[in-house]
C-alpha cells in the first residue's frame, strides 16, 4: 500500500481553512498554494500518491483566496461608504 504525500494532506487542510476562517483565510490560502506546488513536485519526483489531493487543494485555496479578497474588499467598501 502506497501512502499519500504528507504535504498534499497539509495543503488540503489549508485549503479548507482558507474558505472557512475569515480574514486570516487569506494567509491560509497563500500558504496552501505554496504547499500545493511543493507537493505536486514531490509527488512527481517520488511517485507517491496524493497528486489529486494536491490539485484539489490548489482549487480550494484559489477559491478561498477569491472569497477572502471579496470579503475584505466589501468590508473596505462598506467602511468607506459609512465614514466618508
Kindly report, residue by residue over 2-34, the tens digit of the pLDDT.
677 777 777 778 888 888 887 888 888 888 888
pTM recorded for the entire structure: 0.75
Contacts 24+ apart (CB under 8 A), 22-28: 22/68, 22/71, 23/68, 23/71, 23/72, 25/64, 25/67, 25/68, 26/65, 26/68, 26/69, 26/72, 28/61, 28/64
Domain boundaries, given as residue ranges, for the chain:
6-83
- Residue 43: per-residue pLDDT: 83
CA angle, 65 as apex, 61 and 67 as ends, to 5°?
115
Amino acid at each position: 500500500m502506497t501512502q499519500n504525500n504528507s504535504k498534499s494532506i497539509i495543503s488540503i487542510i489549508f485549503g479548507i481553512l482558507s474558505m472557512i476562517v475569515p480574514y486570516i483565510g487569506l494567509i491560509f490560502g497563500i500558504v496552501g498554494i505554496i504547499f500545493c506546488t511543493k507537493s505536486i513536485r514531490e509527488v512527481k519526483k517520488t511517485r507517491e500518491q496524493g497528486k489529486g489531493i494536491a490539485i484539489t487543494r490548489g482549487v480550494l485555496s484559489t477559491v478561498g483566496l477569491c472569497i477572502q479578497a471579496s470579503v475584505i474588499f466589501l468590508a473596505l467598501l462598506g467602511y468607506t461608504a459609512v465614514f466618508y
